[in-house]
Structure 1
Amino acid sequence: MNEESTAKKGIRGLPAALRGGLGRIFGPMARWVRRHKKSFAALIVLAAAGSFLGWRFLAAGRGAAGGGAPAFVRTTVLQKTSLENSISATGTVGSAEVSNVTTQLKYTVKEVKVQVGDTVQEGDVICTLDTSEIEKQLQKAKEALAENIEKAQASYDKALAAYNSAYDKASAAEAAYNSAAAACNNAASAFENAKNTVLALQSAYDAAAAAAQAAAGDVAAKLDAYTAAVAAAGGDLSAPAVVSAAQALSAACSAYNGTTFTAGGTVDTAAQSGGLAASAQQALSALNSGKELCGYAALEQALNSAAAAKEQARTQLDTLESQFTSAKEQLTSAETALKDSKSSDTLEELQDQLEECTLKAGSAGTVTALNATVGSAVTDSIVATIQNVGRLKISFSVEEYDIPNVAVGLPVNITSDATGDTVIHGTVTQVSKTASSGQNSSGGFACEATVDDQDTGLLVGMNAKLNIILSTTDNVFVVPIDAVGADENGGSVVYVKTGGSGADAVFEPVPVTTGAENDYYIEISGDGLEEGMEVRSSADADEARVNTGGSGTGGGAVDMGGFAVAGGAMAAPDVGGGGGAPGGGGGPMGG
């Protein structure tokens, strides 16, 4: 067995459980150091861990070789590869489409149509419940509904008859009122014509009556003056004042009714042989004759009667219209009651319950849980769980220092113990921005990724490893981050092997430009770089030197807590933690 094959066995020759345990110790530690590479405390922790693991495995190597402690310098062979910046996590496989068949009913299960593991389609019957009790309640509810409908129909029919009667009466009263109004209008028109006919005679009479009235007043005034004059003269009718007053009174009597007055005589106001009183009497006779000729009095009486009949018809119409409005409201109320009587909340609820006694699948998939037993009452509201095993997701948690870099849509490489080294592709679909809490929580941030590939071999409930790809840089030279140092001007350099071997190897600085990096590796470029060159894996010569514990001067390999050194080339750590190996997420460089 040569030195190279012995070295390649290294830690990888140990049982997988022990390798995994060491990887879980050393990998996160190295990852933390990369994120806090300026921290002195981190360097101490990493050095202590490396010393411990190196002592464990190198001591074993020395015991096996039984010789001295030759040394060689760890190097990385330059070759074009891909650099991935990624975050590793573990999670549990679940279905991306899960539906529960639920019920709040507590009836006895009558029949179960499926078993766990069966494939169902949306709408397939999962189980049925005993409906005998619901059907009894339904029958009673239907009978009560029919009785209510019958009563409501009777009330409606009565209200409809009352409405029709009130409508007919109101219509007749409206017709009667319209007729009375028309008759009143006709009588008013006829009376107005007669009134216009005697209008001139009425005016003449009014003027004559006013003049006669004024003359009668003048007679009365002059009589008072005469009586006063006689009294003043002591009854001497020949006194001049008495004679003058008598003459004025005689003139007033003559103007009024054509009579004369002599001193000591009497005034005759009844005589109407002439004067204004006779003229007024003649005008009144003419007016009455005109009214009689045109039927004025009869027309006036007809108008008064027609107006009274119209008012009576209006009162009757108002009364019947009020009764009609009341009948209409009662009919509307009865119609609403009849409509409402034809539905029952209780009946609808029971019918819904009857339908719910047939529990159906809400989606297509595989029955993964079933809580229904024939003859037993339903005790769990979730009767069955259906999962689409063809659409899978993985639930996982991301630590707080990584969560800012994780976003929906990032690609994910998935592996599992059950599926071996096959890389299954997925996509981040959910990222929580709130840390998990609770007794069983790790305190990380819950995330989900869907499985994009089909027929992956993953099953619900399996554990899976995820590599969340943050970025990928293709066809570049990459070296361990520690391989990049600084020259006296602060520029970046790597140390390229120019001669010698083992501990006597000679390295010269070559200027480089750095690019993308992950937790372990960094991209370099420069005119002085060529494929196949050996670059010292640490810019610090002492840190790059390794004692193999066996005979020989180099070319061997030793696995130190996840760093696989094979043939003098530095490979990526073989555990998760923020960045896979160039070209493959954790494999050796170039492999």
Structure 2
Amino acid sequence: MKGFCGFLKKYKKIIIIITIVILIAVIAYVFLRPRSERTSAKRESRVATEGIKRMNLSNSVSITGTIAANDSQTVYSNHSGCEVISMNVEIGDSVKEGDVICVLDSSEYEESIAEIEKEMSIASQKSALNVEQAQRDLAEAQADAVTDAARAQEKVDQTIEDYNAVVDRKSSAYNTYQLAVSNREEKQKTLSTQQSKLKEAKKALEEAKEAQTQAESALLEGTGDQAAVDAAVQAAADAQAEVDTRNAKVASAKAEVDAAQKEEDSAKTAYESFGDQIESAVRSYESALDSQQDAATQAGRTITGREESLTSASLDASTANDENKKKIEEYRKLIDKCTVTAPISGVVTSIHMEVGDEIAQDNNKICVIQDNSGYKVEAFVDQYDISSLYEGMEAVIKTDATEELEMKGTVTFVSPTPEESSAGSSSDSVTYSVEIDIADPDEKLRIGMTAETSVLTETAENALAVPYDCIGENEKGEPVLYVVDKPQKSEDDEKKTDAATASQREIVVKTGLETDYYTEIISDEISEGMLVSASGVALQNTSNGESGREMGGFKGQMSVPGGGMGKGSPRN
């Protein structure tokens, strides 16, 4: 701060001189400039306005193309060596699909068919004999199969009877074995019961002996008596007798269990002995089944072989003439094609054959037919515009022949690749083919005419719009309109508004479709007919008037003259 103050003191005189010079220059500019310039500044306080309009907006790609038929077909014939024996059309004739264009000589094909039909008759007779022999062989094999099957079934039935007899005996032995098992289990339960009672008797004996010992000890110690000792001794003797009795019963039960076990083992052995017999019976049965199956398989193979032979003979009979039939069919197709017909309806635009000419591989073009029921525009679009075009877009077509008539059309084809002639060219010459169908072609149209076409790439119908320059930007970078609500029109120009008396406001809008001149604007605060600043800036209020020098004198107070501002910063 001290340094700055020192600077001011040091250069104070210089600063004052510079300030005076600047002030004199400003005053001289304001009061000494020409009157015409001051008058112009005054007029700038009246700024031009534009009205908001409702309109249909669109952008388009302009294309120059050629009128072509919806379809064009060149009629060819591949019948090399065939002569044209009649030509039914001339250039300019209208034909319908299927109409006869010309007729070629087909006698050679007809002779070939006659020869093939003779070969087919002989082949059919041979095939019939082969089929009859195959049928006899099959019938013989089927009869042998029935006889062999009956014999094999008898053997199978006998083994089944043998098997069932063994099964019955085994079942009886099994029942005996089950009874022995039940008896042994019952004896085992009795043994278990006696063993449990023996265990209880032994426990009672131990308790009696313990009581006897305690009674004798009490007697010796003088706390017991002899009667208690005698009672304990007797109880111990009784418990011993019970143990002896239970031991005898356990021994008897064990003996019975052993006897029952022997009976069970004997019954089991008898039952299990039938296993080998069952297995033998099963093997006999299975062997009989195998023999039966082998016989059936062999018979089946024989029958199948005979059936295949019959089928083969039948197929040979049915297909013996297939190749010949195909040849005849091909010849008949060739004969049919000797009558050349129109592939489409339209006009014959060129003829390349006449009666007496012979078809050759390098000379097989007969005529050209173009469908004149509808037209399309064929054109080429450069790489800068092709990405804007899509199938289904609407278009407007004009020609010199139809003058100002605008015909509607639709883009039906946009090539995904450039034309071969331009694929290797420089970037400036790369083009893509497009086609536009004409919805309602005028009767004056002719194939080959030049067509000027506009393809609509963007549209906004019934949109509110203003000229591009009417849209400004606020400090936030938002697009705005400066709407003049109560303008007072000047006398010399109805499209200009006096900034000194106008009431204006800023409205933020959204922009939509932009064309070369108009831009779509979107906001709930705007309506058709509103006036807005034509330059996209606010009107400057200059109600204080303009100071200037007239006739060499000074008038009014000094002020910097007001005026219209230039257009704001460009929009992105």
Give TM-score, length-normalised by structure 2: 0.48
